[in-house]
Chain A
Amino acid sequence: MERSFVSIALFAALIAALGLIPKITLATGVPITAQSLGVMLCGTVLGARRGALAVLLFVALVALGLPLLAGGRGGLGLFVSPTAGFLIGFPIAAFVAGWVTEKMRNIPVFWAASLGAALGGIVALYLPGIAGMALTLDKSFGEAAFLATPFLPGDAIKAVLAGSITATLMRARPESVLSRA
């Protein structure tokens, strides 16, 4: 029980730490912030329930005013700003990523985790994210969806990275990848 509790807290800290390291530039020159990759990893590594709890903890601490988001941002203002939907969608994204990784036990972990991260980190995250932008900016859902498209390639790359990192962790600490344990 302590392991599961501490893992949740430390993965929340991992997401925060990923906001501290400078932006990662991929070979193609596309810079990505690693924080949403951390959200995907919470799901694919810890599984649906624990992953969602870890991200929920992170989001709750941001709401309480800890400057844990990339660029030292935090506070309640973010929850009424146009990006609010993405923050609220983070725990759902981790849940979906974890759920897919858990359910697809019979295919290799890299593929299951990549697919889970894509379904969670893109489909499940963009729906509330776009809804939030539509609501705060007073735009239609379609118009808001258009505004979110520039982030799509980066997030697709992150999903594959999440799959690959989960597979590496599975080789290094199989008993700690709770989504498959």
Chain B
Amino acid sequence: MLSLTSETPTPYHHWPAGPKLLAVCIVTAVLFSAGSILLSTVACLLLLGLYALPGIAFLREGLRGLRVLWPFLLLIAVWHGITGTPRAGAAVALQLLAAVGFANLVTMTSRLDDLTDAVTRAASPLRRLGLKPHRFGLALALVVRFTPLLGMRGSQLAEAWRARAPRRAGWQMLAPLALAAIDDADHVAEALRARGGIDGSKE
């Protein structure tokens, strides 16, 4: 499965993931608590610079990542247009663009492994509370393996439905799909037990 890490090499890829995560938390907290249009504008310009620095391809990719916001930007424009408060609307929109832009930048420039390591390290004090961070890696691997498998099972069910019925399959596929997940879970659990259990291959 693809991850959202950018293929374009940038200097940011080499920065450690932990500090990047911390930085994005601080930037977001400051942006939202200050709520200042000046600060948000500066942040947006800085962000544009950070996106543009590694080249046009990276900039384009970064802007594409902000597309998820357009329904909300439209909403803000309509709302503040009607209420006659364009300045407040611009402040909200810039704040939103800056916050999402910075967070996306971290996602685009950090490899999944590095992020997982950073989070697992940060969570390791929770070991004392009985949490087992090393299980996260196995869970991640299972999800990554079974998502496409269950997706394929879903399309097989839809095809089988189409072969028998004139109409497209709908919610009727959901119960058999959930059943497939339950049965797969049984098989995988058995296989894991046979190989010494979840904690069997612990580091």
Contact = CB atoms under 8 A, between A and B. Distances in A.
Interface string A159-178: 00100110011001100100
A20 B158 CA distance: 13
Given A6-B192, A10-B146, A161-B171, A67 B3 contact: yes
Determine chain B's interface SS by DSSP, over half rule.
helix
Interface string B90-106: 01100110011101101
Given A13-B150, A76-B24, A80-B99, A66 B1 contact: yes
B168 A12 contact: no
B182 interface: yes
B147 A16 contact: yes
A60 to B, nearest CB: 8
Contact of B139 (A8, A37, A173): A8
Interface string A25-61: 1110000001001000100010000000000011011
B81 to A, nearest CB: 14
Determine chain A's interface SS by DSSP, over half rule.
helix
Interface string B72-108: 1001100100000000100110011001110110111
B142 A9 contact: yes
B143 A136 contact: no
A90 to B, nearest CB: 15
B60 interface: no
A5 B154 contact: no
27 contacts: A3-B185, A6-B185, A7-B185, A9-B138, A9-B139, A10-B146, A13-B142, A16-B143, A21-B158, A26-B170, A57-B139, A60-B136, A64-B112, A65-B3, A66-B3, A66-B143, A66-B144, A75-B4, A77-B101, A77-B107, A78-B103, A81-B96, A135-B32, A136-B96, A173-B179, A173-B182, A176-B185
Interface of B: 1-5, 24, 28, 32, 35, 65-66, 68-69, 72, 75-76, 79, 88, 91-92, 95-96, 99-101, 103-104, 106-108, 110, 112, 115-116, 119, 135-136, 138-140, 142-151, 153-155, 158, 168, 170-171, 173-175, 177-179, 181-186, 188-190, 192-193, 197-198
